Amino acid sequence: MIRSILFDMGGVLLDFSPPRFIARLGLGTEDGTILEREIFHSAEWVCLDRGSMTEEAAFASMCARIPERLHAAAREVFERWDEPRAPLPGGYELARDLSANGYTLYLLSNAGVRHARYWPRLPVSEFFDDRLMVSYRFQLLKPEAAFYEKAFELFSLDRRECLFLDDNPCNVEAAWRLGLDGIVYHGDAPLLRQRLREKGVNI
């Protein structure tokens, strides 16, 4: 019987859309592409999620590849991409209904140190309390097996009683290999509810 629902954050509960963050600056297509590539699709961004690099060091390293004329815009994007974080349609309602139906909710997310700043301001956070497995705190990333194993240990979870929701198929496949059932979320909230019911979840 499923007792716990394990949520990814970006792409499931919250919108993580680099083009939207960059569009605020009104840059041309070429300049926007440079910033998206060198900031959000960089190895430094992964290091931030792992907690193995400070924001200052990561930004300096990124800027070494960004034309000087874009440094001010890069700073604006890097420092304000999380203001505000936009919820995805249906995410709050899903978490609310699952919690009301007796399921315990956990967050399993690849995210950097800034998570501690924006997460408490999000209405959906009320359903998770302190049940947060966030990558930078443990220097572990999905889809590494050690990430999931740490979550099982941290919260004393029986993986047979859990269901994992993530928008990244690689993360769900990694969970499967560890005996944790999961659903890939494709942005269709009604379909996700249907998939949950097919798994025996009361929703």
Q: Give the tens place of pLDDT for each residue, 12-68.
A: 999 999 998 999 889 999 999 999 999 999 999 999 999 999 999 999 999 999 999
Q: Is the dihedral of CA 96, 97, 102, 105 positive or negative?
A: negative
Q: Please tell me the predicted confidence (pLDDT) of residue 95.
A: 98
Question: Hey, where are the domains in the chain?
Answer: 4-15+86-198, 18-80
| Verdict on whether the full-model pTM lies above 0.75 | yes
Q: Which two tokens stand for residue 17?
A: 């859309």
CATH number of 4-15+86-198: 3.40.50.1000
Distance CA 190, CA 176 (A): 23
Q: Please tell me the predicted confidence (pLDDT) of residue 86.
A: 87
User: DSSP readout, 132-147?
Assistant: EEEHHHHT--TT-HHH
Please give the radius of gyration of the chain, using alpha carbons only, rounded to the nearest integer.
Answer: 18
The predicted model gives 138-166 an average pLDDT of 98
Q: Please tell me the predicted confidence (pLDDT) of residue 106.
A: 98
pLDDT digits (tens, 9 = 90+) for 71-115: 999 999 999 999 888 899 999 999 999 999 999 999 999 999 999
Q: Decide if pLDDT at 5 tops 90.
A: yes
Contact call for residues 14 and 88 (beta carbons, < 8 A): yes
Distance CA 51, CA 203 (A): 35
Q: Is the dihedral of CA 29, 64, 117, 159 positive or negative?
A: positive
Q: Is the dihedral of CA 189, 194, 195, 200 positive or negative?
A: positive
133: left (phi over 0), alpha (psi -120 to 50) or beta: beta
How many residues would you count in the chain?
Answer: 203
Q: Which two tokens stand for residue 131?
A: 């049940």
